[in-house]
Homo-oligomer: A and B are copies of this chain.
Amino acid sequence: MPDLAEGQPTPIVLAAMGSFHIGGREIEITGKPVREVALNPGRAATRIDPNGRYQVEQMYVQYFVPEPRRGQLPLLLWHGGGLTGVTYETTPDGREGWLNWFVRQGWAVYNSDAVERGRSGFAPPEVFTGDALFLPKKNGFERFRIGDGVGSYDDDPSKRRVLSGNLFPADAYDQFCRQIVPRWTSTDPAITAAYLALLEKVGPSVVLIHSQSGQFGTTVAQARPDLVKALVLVEPAGFPVTEDLGALARVPMLAVYGDFIAEDARWPEIRAKGEAFLARVRAAGGRADVLDLPQAGIHGNSHMLMMDRNNTAIAELIQSWLAGLGLWR
């Protein structure tokens, strides 16, 4: 277990903090039998009529507005697949995450859980087709460039093969697994709709995505370039399917890539798709920068950059890029 991060360097001063749910829709379920359900074993049953309207596909958002503000726009943090906004909170080994770091730097941060994950809840089987996907512990270790590929995970932590020089806190990998949540594979349209609703509520923002959310960030920016003023793509794994990237050319973007990509089983292809996407944005007249960390002399980063031991150094590079756009002063 990590220690509680109570020994934080200086106080965080917030003009406001709070949360809300946004988006989603109502559905109606009919024709089901009324049931007597013991909500807790051994207790009296309660009569439950499952028929009626349900709220589904909403999204949870928690916000922290610091004082004073130096970020010129809200900063929206969108997590990757199988995870929640916890991605950006305390790291698995108990250090401060990017949420705290950006708040301390004066950004109003909005941290959300994608539709069907975490505090967003999930809809009845009538809405989400297919089953939730559960992944065993080995999956992330072998897929997120923490371990040395397939077979590197072992149930015995002392026998796991960590990539040499890896900066992920591998001794806290078991703790990291506690934040992994099930996901459906059929919910992309609902997630995209909720992120659009969030931007419409919050207004012009900087969007920072990770991994799976690449497709959500780029799709939403393509739809509303007036609301996405900058897009930070942290190891994006998905992109919009559209051919016309004209709207995206209005949104400055930065892609950030960690280490160990060339030797990985999957990442050379994912990155090649990303670079091809960025080239198309540039061809359409847009700005699409790449921060290749090893090329910049920063070695050892896994796919979970925001949890790696040098997480604040990477956040600083991202913020410098945003400062160059006049979005942090």
Q: Which residues of A contact B (CB under 8 A)?
A: 1-2, 4-8, 11-22, 24, 26, 29, 37-43, 46, 48-55, 58, 60, 62-63, 65, 67, 81, 84-86, 89-90, 94, 96-97, 100, 113, 118-119, 121-124, 133-139, 153, 155, 174-175, 177-183, 185-186, 188, 201-202, 212, 215, 238, 241, 266
Contact = CB atoms under 8 A, between A and B. Distances in A.
Given A14-B11, A18-B5, A24-B178, A43 B84 contact: no
A295 to B, nearest CB: 27
Contact of A15 (B8, B41, B186, B212): B8
B84 A137 contact: no
Contacts of A22: 1, 178
A15 B4 contact: no
A-B residue pairs, 8 tightest by C-beta: A21-B178, A52-B136, A18-B90, A121-B181, A58-B178, A55-B177, A19-B89, A5-B18
B53 A215 contact: no
A31 B40 CA distance: 32
A175 B24 CA distance: 11
A255 to B, nearest CB: 18
B4 A182 contact: no
Given A133-B48, A238-B43, A18 B55 contact: no
A268 to B, nearest CB: 13
Nearest to A12: B14
B136 A53 contact: yes
A18 B96 contact: yes
A16 B4 contact: yes
Given A84-B119, A86-B19, A94-B20, A41 B134 contact: no
Contact of A4 (B18, B38, B43, B134): B18
Q: Which of A4, A42, A133, A183 has the most C-beta atoms of chain B within 10 angstroms of its own C-beta?
A: A4
A51 B135 CA distance: 9
Given A1-B201, A6-B16, A18-B100, 7 more contacts: A12-B13, A21-B178, A26-B137, A38-B185, A40-B188, A55-B180, A121-B180
B12 A7 contact: no
Q: Which of A18, A19, A22 has the most C-beta atoms of chain B within 10 angstroms of its own C-beta?
A: A18
Contacts of A84: 119
24 contacts: A4-B18, A11-B13, A11-B14, A18-B89, A18-B90, A18-B97, A20-B94, A21-B86, A21-B179, A22-B178, A24-B178, A41-B185, A43-B238, A46-B266, A49-B136, A52-B139, A53-B137, A55-B174, A55-B177, A55-B180, A58-B178, A118-B121, A119-B181, A124-B182
